[in-house]
Amino acid sequence: MLENERAKIVINHLFNSTTKPIPPVRRDIQIIPVKEDGRDLLLFYDPMKISEPGFALDGSVEPLLSLIDGHKSLTQLASYFGKDVSGDQLLEFVQMLDQRKLLESPNFKAASARVEEQFENSGTRQPALSDSSYPSEPDRLLEFMNNIMNGSNGLEMDASKSKALYAPHIDLRVGSEQYAEAFSLLRGLKPKRVVILATSHYSGYYPELYNGYPFIGSQKDFILPGRTIKTDQKAVQTIAADGEKAGFTLKDRAHRIEHSIETHLLFASHIWKHDFEIVPVLIAGIDDLFYIKEGDLGNKIENFASRLQQIDTDDTFYLISGDLSHVGRKFGDTVPAAAMRSDVETFDREFITAAESGNHDVMLRRMAENYDPYRICGFPPLFTFIKSFPGIAGKQINYHWWDEQERESAVSFGSILY
């Protein structure tokens, strides 16, 4: 097919009407004000990784963007600008946004479907964070990880009989010291199977897939720079047997851009050079437990816990990936995080104490009192693990408060060795 014919097909998919409502700017797109060479710019960040990264517009277009709300037509839009901006210029601007898949348009939906279908048909899960959070070249990654691990304080804890590690999945640049403290304790272990129970941040984007399925597995092998981590197919299938009863699905779209498993795999791959297989499971929100402890969700958690017990062996280790509280204006609070710090840290301490003792009832009761007031994203995977292994107990390794002062927000995180 000739290039100009391809271009015509693309253009035909773009918005091209003066009277129909212009598709709104995608709600999931983050528009971030930045400065570059003295210019005020708006950087478009797509968490779903459908649009091309690194795109920015001059800050002066912000009023125009605010008018593209899904209700106004080009004709109505033109009325706001009079003779200063022509209808053709507005159409060109809208089509540029549409071409870059920044609008809730048929062009974006078609592109999204192609990306998701390609992922689902693949036997591997490619890295989502390479070249953004860590280097994509194996040699540079090794140096990067060595620098992180060499920053460990060398905690003196006996991990020879440990069964699990609860550790953060915060940005590597923020939590490098805490990562190193936690994962350095595991160097002497050689598990054959590693079950990763991790927070799912993106399953809410796919309600049609995950309604009633809080546990999201994958059969894909996970790719890291210089290494492929195999998935334990037999163990995954054991969990998937009668998956509806256990709220477990292998429809794994939520894994495509998720960082919570990938971050833990970086450290597992770095400290464990022997061959091991993984059982990757994302866990969506389990807030319904705050209202009804028993019931459909409670039964599914019980059944999933039973499945985990079925695959458990002496050489199975568990990585539980989650952070603690998310507070401040960025997360919807009306006051800065600094003003909340004392109360949040008290809550975190009580949560960690309950988690250390393996008391899932106290954990749930504390979380339910005010319906997860501080947004502890590590609650679903950690609660699930403790529910699966009654009587297990752990010891806190660290705790940290990251204050993002410029955004008046904060995230707390810590680690527990079981």
Per DSSP, the residues of 247-301 read TEE---GGGSS--HHHHHHHHHHHH--S--EEEEEEE---GGGGT-SSSHHHHHH
Domain boundary among 113, 148, 168: 113
**The pair of three-digit structure tokens given for residue 402, joined into one six-digit string:** 């990251």
- Answer whether residue 352 is part of any domain: yes
Q: What pLDDT does 82 receive?
A: 82
pLDDT on residue 12: 55
Which residues neighbour 201 within 8 Å (Cβ) at sequence distance 6 or greater?
258, 259, 260, 377
Same domain? 253 vs 273: yes
φ, ψ at 216 (rounded to 5°): -120, 105
Residue 36 makes CB contacts below 8 A (sequence gap 6+) with: 56
Single out the residue in 61, 88, 113 at which a domain terminates.
113
CATH number, domain containing residue 279? 3.40.830.10
Residue 413, in any domain of the structure: yes
- Same domain flag for 216 and 351: yes
76 and 156 inside one domain: no
3-state DSSP assignment of residue 380: helix
* Domain that residue 37 falls in: 3-113
For 150, other C-beta atoms within 10 Å of its C-beta total 9
Instruction: Pick the closest to residue 151 from 182, 130, 129 (CA basis).
Output: 182
Closest CA to 95 of 7, 6, 3, 30: 7
pLDDT at 5: 43
**How confident is the model at residue 107, as a pLDDT?**
96
pLDDT per residue, tens digit, the chain (418 aa), is 344 444 444 455 899 999 999 999 999 999 999 988 889 999 999 999 999 999 999 999 999 999 999 999 999 999 988 888 888 999 999 999 999 999 999 999 999 999 999 999 999 999 999 999 999 999 999 999 999 998 766 677 888 899 999 999 999 999 999 999 999 999 999 999 999 999 999 999 999 999 999 999 999 999 999 999 999 999 999 999 989 999 999 999 999 999 999 999 999 999 999 999 999 999 999 999 999 988 999 999 999 999 999 999 999 999 999 999 999 999 999 999 999 999 999 999 999 999 999 999 999 999 999 999 999 999 999 999 999 999 999 999 999 999 999 899 999 999 999 9
The answer to whether 412 touches 325, Cβ cutoff 8 Å, is yes
Residue 188 and residue 311 in one domain:
yes
pLDDT of residue 157: 82
- Residues 263/378, Cβ–Cβ less than 8 Å: no
What is the β-pairing status of strands 395-404 and 409-417? antiparallel
pLDDT at 163: 97
Please, are residues 217 and 127 in contact by the beta-carbon 8 Å criterion? Answer: no
Residue 405 lies in a domain: yes
Domain annotation covers residue 118:
no
CA 172 to centroid of chain Cα atoms: 14
Q: In this structure, what CATH number is given to the domain that contains residue 47?
A: 3.90.930
Q: Are residues 87 and 160 in the same domain?
A: no
Residue 42 lies in a domain: yes
The answer on 209 and 101 residing in a single domain is no
User: Total domain count for the chain?
Assistant: 2
Cβ neighbours for 108, distance < 8 A, ≥ 6 positions apart: 23, 26, 50, 98, 101, 102
The answer to the question of residue 143 being in a domain is: yes
User: Domain end: 113, 136, 158, which one?
Assistant: 113
Taken as a whole, the chain contains a residue count of 418
Predicted pLDDT at 154: 64
